[in-house]
């Protein structure tokens, strides 16, 4: 008798075995079911609600799933053989009531018991996001969270380009871009979503082509409308984060006001020649300020030339847009310390970041504690008439 | 009187012959703007209203703190302080 067969015979005699139908009942009572098959097998289907941990990582992960080593635990493999070995491993770790599912997944499926195809466990997912999956701060749970999340970027331009590309690469499930412009050759010095061949085509079409080429799994939503107070709430509805990559004050105030009203985080970036500003305005997320706390009014147009008039170093919006993407991912994953209540000011020529404190203005008409939303305004007039 | 550095944002560098930093001696923030304007006439009008108040679209920081959260233009300065003028910027390079 081979050593393997001897051990199996021992295990069969000593490990309690449970028929699949009984395992379903135990699952319903809260007993964890661990599917120890390889990811390739699991990607074809796995019991509903099972924890999927390949045998190679079982000892590393099991305590997250079953912290109580005295409580019952179900283990399943393909046919009911490997799960016996896995049971032995778990016993060695101290688990005292491990049971193996007889006949494994093959029998489970044949008996018509509930099966699901775990999303994203396919080969593309594991390869594409492997560097995320390796990090405990992201891992499978974090990556699933990114896949389930949605981000709306206003402006498929200098800031929106790098932000969108990295968010798509990171696996943000739904990425919307709001832009009604067409690609101009003068955009290409910094707007890396677009290409020379796509000059003259709508930016949202160009953006979609680039983002889909990078990560075909992302649902790219192109919104070729100008953002107005009439459509802003409809367009923002259902998104987790708004990224402000616009180039004008009316849009910035409109985005701010809508985000305050809807309780959404507004990931703000702005650039001018060699300087950039980044912050997260999110009063609903804590005690942070809104954009109006810092800038209650826009400057008069003659005092705030746009990049089209004043120019911008092409790389600069890349830096700022990427910082916006970083903050967005942190929000989606609930990681780290956000740029809420702080602004990063980047001076590219000095190669210097300054951190500025931006507390909430207790008298802010839009976001002060208990303030009633004062409504949207005529933003063009508001920004043209500021003094 | 403390010597402090005033960081000039790009949109205002036309007043300072493109200098991005100007050193001034002043006891408080309002004094620093006054001294800055004496050396670079016209710049104060971009920061202050005709009544001498801080314009709502300009923020002055001493170190990391907005002077609006300190004592406004009366905020005292210490030797080596850095005053940053932070204007609202629209650009997204679209």
What ipTM does this complex have?
A: 0.92
* Ranges under pLDDT 50 in chain A: 386-387
Asked if A308 and A350 sit in the same domain, the reply is yes
Ordered by start, the domain boundaries in chain B are: 3-87
Choose among A23, A6, A15: nearest CA to A86.
A15
Surface of A (140-179) touching B: CB under 8 A: 155, 157-160
Nearest chain B alpha carbon to A182: B94
Distance to chain B for A333, nearest Cα, Å:
26
Residues forming a β-bridge with B23: B5
CA A332 from centre of chain: 5
Task: Tell me how many residue pairs between chain A and chain B have CB atoms under 8 A apart.
Answer: 124
Angle between helices A82-93 and A3-14 (to 10 degrees): 70
- Hey, what's the torsion of the CAs at A310, A314, A317, A319, to 10 degrees? -140
Q: Which residues pair with A46 in a beta bridge?
A: A116
Chain A positions in Cβ-Cβ contact with residue B68 (cut-off 8 Å) = 361
Q: Note whether A335 and A132 are within 8 A (CB).
A: no
For residue A347, count CB atoms less than 10 angstroms from its CB and return exposed for 0-12, middle for 13-18, buried for 19 or more. middle
Backbone angles phi, psi at B11, to 5 degrees: -60, -20
- Nearest to A325, CA basis, from A273, A263, A356, A280: A280
* Pair A232, A319 in one domain: yes
Asked if the Cβ–Cβ distance from B64 to A305 is below 8 Å, we say no
A328 to chain B, closest Cα gap in Å: 17
Please give the structure tokens belonging to residue A154: 């206003």
Q: Indicate whether A307 and A199 sit together in one domain.
A: yes
Q: Is residue A123 part of a domain?
A: no
Contact residues, chain B, for A181 at CB < 8 Å:
94
Per the rule left: phi > 0, alpha: psi between -120 and 50, beta: everything else, A131 is: alpha
B43 contact residues in A (CB cutoff 8 A): none
The CATH class given to the B3-87 domain equals: alpha beta
Are B89 and A354 inside 8 Å of each other by CB?
Answer: no
> Are A355 and A222 in the same domain?
yes
Say whether pTM exceeds 0.80. Answer: no
Taking each helix axis as running N to C, give the angle between helix A82-93 and helix A58-65, from 0 to 180 degrees, rounded to the nearest 10. Answer: 70
Contact check, Cβ <8 Å, B92/A270: yes
For B30-73, the pLDDT digits (tens) are: 999 999 999 999 999 999 999 999 998 999 999 999 999 999 99
Confidence (pLDDT) at A121 = 60
What per-residue confidence (pLDDT) applies to B94?
Answer: 53
* CA gap A233, A221 in Å, rounded: 16
Distance in angstroms (rounded) separating the CA atoms of residues A184 and A138: 38
CATH number of the domain that residue A69 is part of: 3.40.250.10
The answer to whether position A16 is within a domain reads yes
Shortest distance, CA B75 to any CA of chain A (angstroms): 16
Residue A365: predicted pLDDT? 94
Interchain CB contact of A351 with B (< 8 Å)? no
Contact A244, A271 (CB under 8 A): no
Domain of residue A25, residue span: 3-118
The predicted structure's pLDDT at residue A29: 93
Query: Closest residue of B to A324, CA-based?
Result: B92
Is the domain of A238 the same as that of A292?
A: yes
- Distance of residue B61 Cα from the nearest chain A Cα, in angstroms: 7
| Rounded distance between C-alpha atoms, residue A335 and residue A326, angstroms | 10
Catalytic residues of A: 307
Note whether A205 and A346 are same-domain residues: yes
What's the pLDDT score for residue A381? 87
- Other beta carbons within 10 angstroms of residue A118's beta carbon come to 19
- A197-239 residue pLDDT tens: 999 999 999 999 999 999 999 999 999 999 999 999 999 999 9
Domain identity same for A53 and A167: no
CB neighbours of residue A58 within 10 Å:
17
Rounded to whole angstroms, the Cα distance separating A39 from A43 reads 6
Query: Which of these, A128, A132, A172, lies nearest to A152 by C-alpha position?
Result: A172
DSSP string, A9-26: HHHHHHS-EE-HHHHHHH
Q: Let me know whether A297 and A168 are in one domain.
A: yes
Looking up tokens 């016209």, which residue turns up?
Answer: B42
SS3 B32: helix
Dihedral of the alpha carbons of B73, B78, B80, B86, in degrees to the nearest 10: -20
Same domain, A162 and A270: yes
Out of A159, A298, A361, the one facing B92 most closely (by C-beta) is A159
Contact B87 A349 (CB under 8 A): no
**Cβ–Cβ below 8 Å for B61 and A356:** yes
Total of domains in chain A: 2
Q: Output B74 or A299, whichever has higher pLDDT.
A: B74
Q: Which of A139, A131, A119 shows the shortest CA–CA distance to A217?
A: A119
Is A221 in the same domain as A356? yes
Contact state of B94 with A304 under an 8 Å Cβ cutoff:
no
CATH number, position A374: 3.40.50.720
| Contact call for residues A14 and A88 (beta carbons, < 8 A) | no
Whether residue A132 is contained in a domain is answered as no
Residue in chain B closest to A349 (alpha carbons) equals B20
* Residue A143 falls inside a structural domain: no
- Do A297 and A195 have their domain in common? yes
Instruction: Please tell me the distance from the alpha carbon of residue A347 to that of residue A360, in angstroms, as a whole number.
Output: 25
Q: Which residues of B touch A275 (CB under 8 A)?
A: 9-10, 89
Please state, in angstroms and rounded to a whole number, the distance separating the CA atoms of residues A383 and A386. Answer: 5
Those residues whose C-beta lies under 8 Å from the C-beta of residue B1, and which sit 6 or more positions away, are B25, B26, B27
Q: In this structure, are A113 and A168 located in the same domain?
A: no
């Amino acid at each position: 008798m081979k050593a393997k067969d001897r051990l199996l015979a021992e295990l069969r005699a000593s490990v309690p075995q449970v028929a699949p139908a009984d395992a379903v009942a135990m699952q319903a009572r809260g007993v964890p079911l661990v599917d120890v098959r390889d990811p390739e097998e699991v990607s074809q289907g796995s019991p509903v609600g099972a924890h999927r941990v390949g045998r190679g990582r079982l000892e590393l992960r099991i305590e997250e799933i079953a912290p109580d080593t005295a409580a019952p635990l179900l283990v399943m493999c393909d046919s009911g053989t490997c799960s016996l070995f896995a049971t032995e491993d778990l016993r060695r770790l101290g688990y005292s009531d491990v049971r193996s599912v007889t006949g494994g997944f093959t029998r489970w499926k044949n008996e018509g018991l509930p099966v699901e195809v775990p999303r994203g466990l396919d080969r593309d997912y594991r390869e594409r996001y492997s560097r995320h999956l390796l990090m405990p701060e992201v891992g499978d749970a974090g990556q699933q969270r990114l896949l389930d999340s949605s981000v709306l970027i206003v402006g498929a331009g200098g800031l929106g380009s790098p932000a969108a590309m990295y968010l798509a690469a990171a696996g943000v499930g739904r990425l919307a871009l709001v832009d009604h412009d067409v690609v101009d050759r003068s955009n290409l010095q910094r707007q890396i979503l677009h290409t020379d061949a796509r000059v003259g085509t709508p930016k949202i079409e160009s953006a979609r082509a680039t983002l889909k080429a990078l990560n075909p799994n992302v649902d790219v939503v192109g919104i070729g409308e100008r953002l107005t107070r009439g459509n802003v709430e409809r367009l923002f509805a259902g998104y987790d984060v708004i990224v402000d990559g616009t180039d004008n004050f009316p849009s910035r105030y409109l985005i701010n006001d809508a985000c305050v009203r809807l309780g959404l985080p507004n990931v703000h970036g702005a650039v001018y020649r060699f300087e950039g500003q980044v912050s997260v305005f999110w009063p609903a997320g804590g005690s942070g300020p809104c954009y109006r706390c810092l800038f209650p009014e826009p400057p008069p147009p003659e005092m705030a030339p746009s990049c089209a008039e004043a120019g911008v170093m092409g790389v600069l919006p890349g830096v700022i847009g990427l910082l916006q993407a970083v903050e967005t991912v942190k929000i989606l994953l609930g990681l780290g310390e956000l740029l809420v209540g702080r602004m990063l000011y980047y001076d590219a020529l000095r190669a210097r970041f300054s951190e500025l404190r931006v507390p909430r203005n207790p008298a802010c008409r839009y976001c002060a504690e208990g303030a009633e939303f004062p409504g949207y305004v005529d933003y063009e007039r508001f920004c043209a008439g500021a003094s | 009187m403390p010597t402090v550095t005033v960081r000039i944002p790009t949109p205002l560098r036309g007043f300072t012959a493109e200098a991005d930093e100007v050193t001034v001696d002043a006891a408080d923030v309002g004094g620093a703007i006054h001294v800055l304007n004496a050396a670079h006439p016209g710049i104060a009008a971009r920061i202050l209203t005709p009544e001498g108040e801080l314009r709502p679209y300009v923020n002055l920081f001493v170190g990391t703190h907005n002077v609006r959260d300190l004592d406004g233009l009366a905020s005292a300065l210490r030797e080596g302080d850095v005053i940053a003028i932070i204007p609202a910027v629209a650009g997204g390079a679209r």
